[in-house]
Chains A and B, each alone.
Chain A
Amino acid sequence: MFDVRILESGEIYFSGRLDASQTEKADKILQQVTSSRSVNCKDLEYISSAGLGILLSNQKRLTALGYSLKLTNLNKHIREVFTFTGFDKIFIID
């Protein structure tokens, strides 16, 4: 089960499992973002390379506009994946 929402604060909230069957759902919300935003991952349990791909394509789109996504509260496993793939250099991680 994966959920993605834009909260009233403007923060994006991810929860559950972002696997290859859920990337359209995540991308639909991320495509609405046209300025710098935080993505709160405190309840995101899992991400696969398909999920990384969606984050990367949206970060590239926003960077070209002068904005970026910041990821907060990554769990240990997801943080490791970000470190191994160099995504920790592409995203601000808090």
Chain B
Amino acid sequence: MEKSFPRRLSALDTVFEFVHECMRHYRIAEKNDFSMKFIIEELFTNMVKYSKPSRSDIFLKIERHDEQCSIIMSEDDVEMFDITKIPDADVTKPIEERTPGGLGIYLIRKMVDRLDYDYLNRRSQITIIKKLE
């Protein structure tokens, strides 16, 4: 299933509704609900925050293939921003040295089995493969 969403945080409600709809459609167990929503929200908010000049919608496609699912998110007319190159947050630092930056991508890496980034003709695409619980 696939759908496009306007590039704004207030669209998150409709993004979550779509994820829920996909999970029902593909009979994905409820225990995957938190991680599916987390991964998609983090990618969506990154696109909203870091690709501001673009006015293009954000495209989301979710499919199930046996015991895993693929999540594809893409956007047009953006600069290259390869999230696979972002270093992991240091989660061992004491509170005075902690900043919230990098936690989203750090947690995505914990939750997924594969994370790929492609950039061509000002189009960014992130592909995720996640084994289902």
Contact = CB atoms under 8 A, between A and B. Distances in A.
A85 B41 contact: no
Contacts of B12: 19-21
A24 to B, nearest CB: 10
A85 B95 contact: no
A49 interface: yes
Nearest to B9: A21
Interface stretch (B64-72, B103-111, B116-124): B103-111
B41 to A, nearest CB: 5
Contacts of B104: 48-50
A87 to B, nearest CB: 8
A60 B98 CA distance: 9
Interface centre among B10, B35, B100 (most CB of A within 10 A): B100
Interface stretch (A7-15, A33-41, A51-59): A51-59
B98 A90 contact: yes
Interface string A25-69: 000000000000000000000101110110011011001000000
Interface residues of B, number: 26
Nearest to A53: B100
A77 B42 contact: no
A81 B103 CA distance: 10
Contacts of B103: 49, 52-53, 85
Interface of B: 9-10, 12-13, 16, 34-35, 37-38, 41-42, 45, 89, 91-93, 95-96, 98-100, 103-104, 106-107, 110
Given A17-B16, A49-B104, A85-B89, 16 more contacts: A20-B9, A21-B10, A21-B13, A46-B34, A48-B45, A48-B104, A49-B103, A49-B107, A50-B45, A52-B103, A59-B95, A60-B96, A63-B96, A81-B38, A84-B107, A85-B107
14 contacts: A19-B41, A20-B41, A21-B10, A21-B12, A21-B13, A46-B34, A48-B38, A49-B100, A49-B107, A60-B95, A77-B35, A84-B106, A85-B103, A86-B93
The 4 A-B residue pairs with the shortest CB-CB distance in the complex, in nearest-first order: A53-B100, A49-B104, A86-B91, A77-B34
